[in-house]
Chains A and B, each alone.
Chain A
Amino acid sequence: MMDMIAGALQEAWLNFSEGFAAFLPRLIAMLAIVAAGWLIAAAVAFVVRTLLALFRFNKLADRTGTTEMLKRAELPAADRLTATMVFWVLWLGFLFSGVGSLGLTGMEQLTSEFVHFIPRLFVAIAILIAGFVLANFAWRATLLTAVNANLPSARLLSGGARFLVSLLAVAMALEQLGIAQHVVVTAFAIAFGAVMLGLAIAFGIGGGGVARRIVDQHFPEKPDTKDDDVSHL
């Protein structure tokens, strides 16, 4: 009886030893990949940030209004944010690769999915950035046009333009990421349609006079109608 127990223990020990001996190199490889990946990701992020500073990326972000939006969201400066994103994408890639080298069941599929997810993530980020830049441009253009045309509620109009463009960008980015795809598309279509329908009804019922004034102002009967009597040039 004791011999059987001792034999079983010995066999279990042998199995454990063999398994551990086989796993240890993979563990060391994983740790090496993760550590090297961290170093490489940090180096690449540093290079990216240096290059962005060299090409005055923050100035571009200032001009496009991205800096202002980042400040409002309490995020770091544009060059630092970009470098941080590059670091995390690279290091997560190495991390998944390292974990994959352990040979754990299911990790290969997870790694593969992550690799396929990266391009979509970048496209989504690009859509968001372009969307916010466009939204800021639309906001300022609408605001200036409305103010210079003496339209009432200029800030409301321009804020609405920015909100709609931002909403469109967020919906497109989420759809790109595949996050609650159907819900996002449906919700966006309903919300956008509702806003537009609401505006149209509100303007039609309450803004008939305003519409008439705008049309009269832009399509006067006399072509030389003046906004003011001042001779500017």
Chain B
Amino acid sequence: MPVTSLLSDEMLRQVIAVGQADIAVGIPTLNHGGVIVDIVDAVTRCFRTHFPRERAVLLNVDGGSDDGTPELVLDPARDQRGNAGGGLRTVHRISARYAGLVSRTKEVQVAFAANELINARALAIIDPDCAVSPDSVAALLRPVLTEPCDFVTPVYARSWCEGALVSQLLRPVVRGVYGRSPLEPAAGEWACSARFASDGLPGELWDADLGPAGISLWMGTTALAGGYEARQVGLGLRPAPIRAMRAALPEVFSQVVGALFRSLELHAPYWVESRPPGSVPMIGQPTEAADDPDVPATEPLVESFRAGVRDLEPVLAEILQAETWQAVRALSESTEDVPAFGDALWSAVVYDFAAAYHRGAMHRDHLTKALVTPYLGRTAAFLAGYAGSPAGATAACEALGLEFERAKPHLVERWNPGGTQ
């Protein structure tokens, strides 16, 4: 698909007016009028303070806001507020809506297409639902400019019980299957090189609505499988959402776990071969999080797990292998306050789901949403297991990653039962 066909006439006009650039920051928006001013100011200050000599572009891809978001981005008054750090060059701002259905995936694709024309060496994508600082944007962009690096993900200081979906599912699967994983494989903000963006334009998943986390996951796994240089950079405490946009858990699973399983399919030629485990190089040191967090109550999770396993029996029995299903059912019927959902069983469950997704055992959206129930059981076990001694939680996450690595042959065998790709 030609790059220009992805851009609206308005976007193309503004991109042509800008010409060439060195760095760009893409901000996908949809009715973010209440927060966009602070984000634009932070990005502008980042450009002026950290990259005063670079030609910089702020690229707002709007999904059709009716609250004046594009006008706020282009407001000339922003020049005054963001000019505090000086700067030798004009900071260009582009804001236009795109054609087609509204989706975050489409917005990132349009940002890639625009970057193809302005030829910026480094492109950062910012999640407008979370606060950003000039320093955090600069930290994402800098490795792409200064190092042989194509993809940068952030590392946040988080307490051990935050981000259970990341620590219990996404990170271990990516590590187990691809041999290494960034600590935050589904962060809403990340940066990439011009080469990565250009290569990624003909990607297979642009038509899917993956959400911010799903896109990040797809991009990160693409970097790992495509042989791109990946880095992770510590950004301190994870910014709190500045807009109440909490999607329901089944929808999160549909987007994020769907993106994970789709990525496994796309990259199967890479990972079915045995690869030595490694790590994604870290730039700087991650900040330590508060070590005394409020541990969420596990009773609602356990109740949902038990009721879900009982009600979803025909669905889970179709997805899981017989012995895995028997073990999950026995676990749900155990008399323990919190059933001990162990690493080995959890990895078998997740890999069975991935294989069932690949063989098309059922409608894919149904399959990803069916994983919510086992996930709640596993999360409850994890939280209950380390509520009294959080020091062991980090080691437990490491052990979980090793278990997924160890169980990878189980996935390969189920993925490709005939022995041919």
Contact = CB atoms under 8 A, between A and B. Distances in A.
Interface of A: 59, 62-63, 65, 137, 140-141, 143-148, 150, 154-155, 223-224, 226-233
B312 A224 contact: no
A144 B315 contact: yes
B369 interface: yes
Contact of B165 (A137, A155, A232): A232
Contacts of B166: 233
A147 B363 contact: no
A224 B245 CA distance: 8
Nearest to A224: B244
B249 interface: yes
B307 A147 contact: yes
Contact of A233 (B213, B311, B366): B213
A147 B312 contact: yes
A224 B246 contact: yes
Contacts of B244: 223-224
A144 B370 contact: yes
A154 B256 CA distance: 25
Contacts of B249: 148, 227, 232
Given A62-B361, A63-B362, A224-B244, 19 more contacts: A63-B361, A63-B363, A65-B362, A137-B363, A143-B311, A144-B369, A145-B250, A147-B312, A148-B249, A148-B372, A148-B373, A150-B303, A154-B311, A223-B244, A229-B297, A230-B164, A230-B296, A230-B301, A231-B161
A150 B370 CA distance: 13
Contacts of A227: 248-249, 300
A229 B315 CA distance: 27
Given A147-B307, A228-B296, A230-B301, A140 B250 contact: no
B332 interface: no
Which residue, of A137, A143, A144, has the highest number of chain B Cβ atoms within 10 A?
A: A144
A148 B301 contact: no
Nearest to B293: A231
A153 B330 CA distance: 21
Contacts of B362: 63, 65, 140
A25 to B, nearest CB: 56
Interface in B330-370: 360-363, 366, 369-370
B163 interface: yes
B161 A233 contact: no
A131 to B, nearest CB: 17
Contacts of B297: 228-229
B256 A233 contact: yes
A143 B309 CA distance: 12
Contact of A141 (B301, B366, B372): B366
B58 interface: no
Contacts of B308: 147-148
Contacts of A230: 161, 164, 296, 301, 379, 383
Contacts of A231: 161-164, 296
Contact of B186 (A147, A229, A233): A233
B183 interface: no
A55 to B, nearest CB: 14
Which residue, of A59, A140, A141, A233, has the highest number of chain B Cβ atoms within 10 A?
A: A233
Nearest to A60: B360
Contacts of A155: 311
B311 A140 contact: no
B304 interface: yes
Contact of B164 (A146, A154, A232): A232
Contacts of B312: 143-144, 147
A226 B372 CA distance: 16
Interface string B272-304: 000000000000000000000010110011011
27 contacts: A63-B360, A140-B315, A140-B362, A143-B312, A143-B315, A144-B315, A144-B366, A145-B369, A147-B311, A147-B373, A148-B249, A148-B250, A148-B308, A150-B303, A150-B304, A150-B307, A223-B244, A227-B300, A228-B297, A228-B300, A228-B301, A231-B161, A232-B165, A232-B252, A233-B165, A233-B166, A233-B213
Interface string B369-380: 110110000010
B302 to A, nearest CB: 11
Given A144-B312, A231-B161, A231-B162, A226 B307 contact: no
A164 to B, nearest CB: 18
A37 to B, nearest CB: 38
